[in-house]
Amino acid sequence: MNSTKRRIFSSLAALVVLGLTGCGSIESAAQDDCTSIGWQIGSKGYQDCYKARLYERKLDYSLPPGDKPSPSLL
């Protein structure tokens, strides 16, 4: 494997790892939000809170409507 292909593969692997790490942190943050205000995991109120907070956090980290990601210079 030449160095260019190796560099591209390494960059892609790093992006995948960062993406997966980000998903876990959004979910755990939504869980922390709901448990910190007193909801117990498994209750109906907790499930509603978790879904709402997860949706809000995904909106916070998503691109604005119509915005396209720019290519990386890596």
Q: Could you write out the DSSP letters of every residue in 19-42?
A: HHHHHHHHHHHHHHHHHHTTPPTT
User: Residues 63, 64, 69, 73: is their CA dihedral positive or negative?
Assistant: negative
* Domain ranges within the chain, ordered by starting residue: 23-62
Position 63 scores a pLDDT of 73
Q: What is the mean pLDDT of each run of 10 residues along the chain (74 residues)?
A: 67 55 77 93 93 91 74 70
d(CA 46, CA 34): 6
Considering the entire predicted model, what is its pTM?
Answer: 0.54
Position 3 scores a pLDDT of 72
